[in-house]
Structure 1
Amino acid sequence: MAEVRKRIVFYGRVQGVGFRYTAKRLAQSLGLTGWAKNEYDGTLVMEIQGREPMIYKLMEGLNHNMFITIEWIDTEEIPVEPESCFYVR
């Protein structure tokens, strides 16, 4: 199965709740790469790369965190990039 890369913007209670570090832990456990960063407008932007079913598992894990409240997401598929880990910006 081919890898994909998605740029996802999360809206809701996504800053100050451990979102980026939860995403990092989940991404590493699922063999995904990419990054996550807080934006000044209160959103969180993530680029995530790997097999699509694993990306869905990451999204499920983020939705089951008691502190994170995702109200809306915008997603777009972008070109795959060479990288070896997931990191927090």
Structure 2
Amino acid sequence: MLHELHIKVSGEVQNVGFRYQTNKLAQGLQLTGWVRNAPDGTVEILAQGEKKNLTRLLTWARQGPGFAKVDKIDFNWRKPAEKLAAFGISRAT
């Protein structure tokens, strides 16, 4: 069954490899979706896939890569409106 997870990560999360590492992990977990820097300084993730793999992504995002300092994470599970084809790094909104 396809699940969708939206995550917003706050803190020192831009310019520390967060998007690159998220992309690498998500592809390894066979997830689809995107990760992007938001204008407010957060990192936003939209991912689809098996719930156990999405949970692994969420657990990782709570800490992020080594140079990141995650202060807060907001997330919500959604019903997918459409199936996404691949996972990638998206341009900022």
* Coarse TM-score class (shorter-chain normalised): 0.7 to 0.9
**What TM-score results when the alignment is normalised by the length of structure 2?**
0.83
* 1:15-35 residue CA offsets vs partner (Å, 9 max, x unmatched): 001111101100000000110
**What TM-score results when the alignment is normalised by the length of structure 1?**
0.87
Counterparts of 1:22 and 1:10 in 2: how far apart (Å)?
A: 14
Secondary structure of the residue that 1:83 maps to in structure 2? coil
Secondary structure of the residue that 2:56 maps to in structure 1? helix
Structure 1 residues without counterparts, runs of 5 or longer: none
Q: 1:27 aligned to 2:19?
A: no
Secondary structure of the residue that 1:36 maps to in structure 2? strand
Q: Give the aligned residue type for 2:71.
A: E
Q: 1:51 aligned to 2:53?
A: no
Deviation at 1:45, TM superposition (A): 1.0
Secondary structure of the residue that 1:7 maps to in structure 2? strand
Structure 2 residues without counterparts, runs of 5 or longer: none
Q: CA RMSD in A?
A: 1.5
Q: 1:88 aligned to 2:89?
A: yes
Contact 2:3 2:51 in 1 (8 A): yes
1:58-73 matched pairs, under 5 angstroms? 58-62=57-61, 63=63, 65-73=65-73
Deviation at 1:64, TM superposition (A): 5.6
Q: Once superposed, which parts of structure 1, at least 4 consecutive aligned residues long, lie more than 6 Å away?
A: none
Give the structure 1 partner of residue 10 of structure 2: 11
Count residues with an aligned counterpart: 88
Percent identity between matched residues is 33
Q: Give the aligned residue type for 1:85.
A: A
